Structure 1
Amino acid sequence: MPADEAEARAVQDTLRSRVVLDEPGPPPGTGRVTGVDVAYDDERDVVVAAAVVLDGATFEVVAETTAVGRVTFPYVPGLLAFREIPTVLAALESLPVDPGLVICDGYGRAHPRRFGLASHLGVLTGLPVIGVAKNPFTFSYEQPGPRRGDWSPLLDGEEEVGRALRTQDGVKPVFVSVGHRTGLDNACAHTLRLTRDFRQPETTRRADSLCRKALREAAV
């Protein structure tokens, strides 16, 4: 774990060079998809991570696990991965099956240093990872069309760092970005497949529910 902010940024700079951006990633509806999410108890400096593996075709739960850890890095925008990575890794490593594509409730390339949680997790695990976030962080976008599947580029200046994707008719978009070993078109296709009924991917919804339950039960 980095000792301070400067060291954390240096770690990001080093690991960012290992991000793989020229693989399309697994096709939607195949293999497994895994949602990861975290919940915090700030009073106790506790973080709980959950990983929920779904069958990519049926959405049936294949496996799920949680891990409990201590928050050991301060809250710094742009460096949140360092608060979450150790516990998320512990959850993923305790899964009894290969997770397949991992979906984070957060960012990949859509990050000021182009290295959000989804990229960080992908580099450390070697897995294909995408980020699907609830808000655009610091980036700009035009509202996509009103229909499910409509999208617009998420921009840092003129650089496309992700997409604002409408997952349900007339509902606020989500913000999709590539983490590692997956293309942006494919990341959006996976996101649409995983949002049949709700704004957020089913993977995120399941992981969010599980980590909140585990946090309530954590006796740390």
Structure 2
Amino acid sequence: MEIRETHPFDLTSAEAIRLQERLRAQIHLSGDIHDVSFVAGADASYTKGSDVIHAVVVVLRYPDLTVVERVSVSVVTGFPYIPGLLAFREGPALIEAFRRVRSEPDVIFFDGHGIAHPRGIGIASHMGLLLDRPSIGVAKSLLTGSAAKPGFMRGSMTPILRDGETIGMAVRTKEWAKPVYVSVGHRISLEAAVDLVLATARGYRLPEPTRQAHLLSNAVRKES
């Protein structure tokens, strides 16, 4: 898979924040998604105290969600874990994983946030920009803003609000399970992002692309 562009990741935290502020202006918060044939889930994991990042990409056929490709790479990072700067720690490994993907996913799901981020550019938005693909952030907890608890039925949702602005949705993907927090990454509308998350959630809390990626990243980490 071709990477549109990249940038140095070996930055100080102050330099990384300045780069985020410049990149944020390039994010597109809309986009019509038609004729989706393949979706991908991306995730990264590491052992506590280790600087080796295990990044994976799982590509699934849509809408039946059959897995058609799995890719994993392990990359040493020098960037520390800093909340809000996850893309600078995991980004190089994720990019190397996407370089090895032979399929062409139409939409990419990331285990993390899109614009529901303190500076409006979480890992789903950052990677979406570099890959130039529609991307969705699906997180298990909030990083910024607040959301009322949605109803307990599948499909219930409430907005994630910050300073009166809607920056995502808390979505109940499984009856009585905890909600997930969905936000636009890049080149997709929030409505379309939520629709795809619900369409790919098949009996589990996590939508299948991120669930499969999470399972694979944990397996690779344990094997290493």
Q: Which amino acid aligns with 1:145?
A: G
1:146 to 129, 133, 152: 152
Listed as ranges, the gaps of 5+ residues in structure 2 are: 1-8
* Alpha-carbon RMSD: 1.2
Which stretches of structure 1, 4 residues or more, deviate above 6 A after TM superposition?
none
Match of 1:179 in 2: 185
Distance between the aligned counterparts of 1:3 and 1:171, measured in 2? Answer: 39
Instruction: Map Cα deviations across residues 103-133 of structure 1 (whole Å, 9 max, x no partner).
Output: 0010001001000000000110101100010
**Matching residue's letter, 1:118:** A
**Could you tell me how far apart the structure 2 residues matched to 1:115 and 1:49 are?**
20
Question: What SS does the aligned partner of 2:46 have?
Answer: strand
**Structure 1: which amino acid aligns with 2:61?**
D
Partner SS, residue 150 of structure 2: coil
Shift of 1:157: 2.0
- The residue identity in structure 1 corresponding to 2:78 is T
Counterpart in the other structure of 1:91: 97
> For the Cα contact (< 8 Å) 1:26–1:182, is it kept in 2?
no
The letter of the residue matching 2:109 is I
Question: What is the match of residue 19 of structure 1?
Answer: 27
Q: Which residue of structure 1 lines up, in the alignment, with residue 125 of structure 2?
A: 119
Q: Aligned equivalents of 2:162 and 2:99: distance in 1? A: 34
Instruction: State the match for 1:79 in structure 2.
Output: 85
CA displacement 1:140-188 (0-9 Å, x = unmatched): 1111122111110001120111000011112211100000001000100
- The superposition leaves residues 1-49 of structure 1 with CA deviations (integer Å, 9 ceiling, x where unpaired) of 242111001110111111112313346xx31110001110233311100
Q: Corresponding residue for 1:165? A: 171
- Distance in 2 between the 1:15 and 1:209 partners? 30
SS in 2 for 1:142: coil
Q: Which amino acid aligns with 1:10?
A: R
Structure 2 SS opposite 1:41: coil
Cα distance in 2, alignment partners of residues 24 and 168 from structure 1: 26
Alignment of 1:100-139 (within 5 A): 100-139=106-145
- Correspondence for 2:11 among 3, 11, 14: 3
8 Å CA contact 1:26–1:101 kept in 2: the answer is no
- Residue 3 of structure 2: aligned partner: none
How many pairs were matched up? 216
Q: What amino acid does structure 1 have at the position aligned with 2:96?
A: A
Question: What amino acid sits opposite 1:186 in the alignment?
Answer: A
Q: Runs of 5+ in structure 1 lacking a partner?
A: none
Residue of 60, 65, 71 corresponding to 2:66: 60
CA distance in 2 between counterparts of 1:137 and 1:26 reads: 30
Q: Is it true that 1:45 corresponds to 2:51 in the alignment?
A: yes
State how far apart, in whole Å, the 2-side matches of 1:20 and 1:77 are.
23
